[in-house]
A and B are shown apart, each in its own frame.
Chain A
Amino acid sequence: MFILKPHSGVPIYRQLLDQIRRMAASGHLPPGTELPSIRDLALKHAINPMTVSKVYTLLEAEGVLERHRGKPMTVAAPKRAQSPVAKRLEQLEPHVEHVALAARQLELTEKDVVKALHDSWEKTDEQSVHRRTRPR
């Protein structure tokens, strides 16, 4: 379900956190989907169960996941209306920064970048969102 790389510089918990968030936001993990138990996920990826627990707790606090007594965690219904644009932009920020930095290295102008973004925006639609986020 997830791709985790324990030896990258990014802490495992952050990788998992980002992935679940993105997949929930994109709809790839529809609301009501059951997530593996802490133990199962930890065993599958050979990582510390506390890490998984930490991520689940954080996401529960954020409202992305729901906890049910005696049953696995599930993806919560998206409360997108309540999540302000600013917050969602915050999630996008690292990617935007990356694009800006790359563009500057390539000595492109702001207009070039905006155009490229516009083209890319046109190409993507609902279906390709799902196709791109499905793990290979």
Chain B
Amino acid sequence: MSSPYIAARGLGKSFNGKPVLADVSFEVEPGDVVGVLGKNGAGKTTLLELVLGFTPATSGGVQLFGYDSYRLPGAAKARIGFVPQQDELVNQLTAADQIGVIASFYPRWDDELVSRLSREWEVDLHQRVKNMSVGQRQKLSILLGLGHKPDVLILDEPVASLDPVARRQFLEQIIEVAADGNRSVVFSSHIVSDVERLANKIWILKDQRMYWQGDFDSLKDSIVRLHARATQPLPDSFTIPNALSVQRNGTTATAIVQGWRAEMHDDLAQQLGAELEVEQLALEEIFLELHR
């Protein structure tokens, strides 16, 4: 197993004494597609900015390709790509010039890829940035992050302003990147359905901490909705272990349970004296339940 591209230990950031992120640890391996979820203000952007070395950590540290991210050397920077949440384009330039300026910083730049994608995504390279719509600008920002074929691609809400067609085109491009096997993608998004398709690892940030992280498939297996049906009204002392929430209604109850394993089914059914049905949840529902 090759060493991880990104590694963080006890990462924390405070701003003016207020903690924005606390005690976060993770690893990103080559080939991972990590989806970062969290409510607004949970610390997603801060986390990404810490990874890229924009700002120093207050506690702990994070490393990119083995280097402390705050002091990333120039050659390593050529291996990372970043798409910011709000575009940072120069209004006066044409798209082609904007690309040219950014491209000139990198030793390798795939002109063919960028021109092909700009055609497919309908970004007019001869248009001035200030005349572009928000969606066009966002697409251009994404192109700027892809052109040098970075090993690590970090995107902060990259598709917030894109229509569904553009989003799907973007997804397909991320899949191309992931299919390479040696490149990683970390992206934060509110569009949970996109994350659901793409991510193989999920980080959920809640209250400035890493609330859940790990393999996406195990997240889906681990958090389930239980429907319990008993023949007698359920007792008041009715409890379900590891339940995040329980709702009782006479002889039935619904509970969101964390850490579920298939083996637990029979024992629990017996314990409760009820029939259990296990419902697996879509990512958006998992997210909502975790924040209830």
Contact = CB atoms under 8 A, between A and B. Distances in A.
A7 B193 contact: yes
B124 interface: no
Given A8-B282, A9-B279, A9-B282, A47 B217 contact: no
A13 B197 CA distance: 11
Contacts of B31: 50
Contacts of B279: 9
Contacts, number: 66
Contacts of B216: 11
Contacts of A8: 280, 282
Given A9-B279, A50-B33, A42 B175 contact: yes
A7 B224 CA distance: 14
Contacts of B179: 38-39, 42-43, 49
A47 B281 contact: no
11 contacts: A6-B193, A7-B193, A8-B282, A13-B217, A42-B178, A43-B172, A46-B198, A49-B175, A50-B33, A101-B275, A101-B277
Given A9-B280, A13-B217, A51 B200 contact: yes
Contact of B197 (A9, A14, A39, A48): A48
Interface in A93-127: 101
A89 interface: no
Interface in B188-203: 193, 196-200
Contacts of A7: 193, 196, 282-284
Given A9-B220, A11-B220, A47 B198 contact: yes
A10 interface: yes
B85 to A, nearest CB: 23
A7 to B, nearest CB: 5
Contacts of A14: 217
A49 B174 CA distance: 10
B114 interface: no
A100 B128 CA distance: 65
A38 B180 CA distance: 11
Interface string A4-27: 001111111110000000000000
Contact of A49 (B178, B193, B283): B178
Interface of B: 31-33, 168, 171-172, 175-176, 178-179, 193, 196-200, 216-217, 220-221, 224, 275, 277, 279-284
Chain B contact residues: over half helix, strand or loop, or mixed?
helix
Interface residues of A, number: 20
* Most A C-beta atoms less than 10 A away, residue of B32, B179, B199, B284: B179
Nearest to A10: B280
A50 B200 contact: yes
Contacts of B217: 11-14, 51
A39 B280 CA distance: 27
B145 to A, nearest CB: 19
A9 B172 contact: no
Contacts of A11: 216-217, 220-221, 280
Contacts of A101: 275, 277
A46 B170 CA distance: 10
B197 A43 contact: no
Contacts of A12: 197, 217
A130 B280 CA distance: 29
A43 B175 contact: yes
Nearest to A38: B179
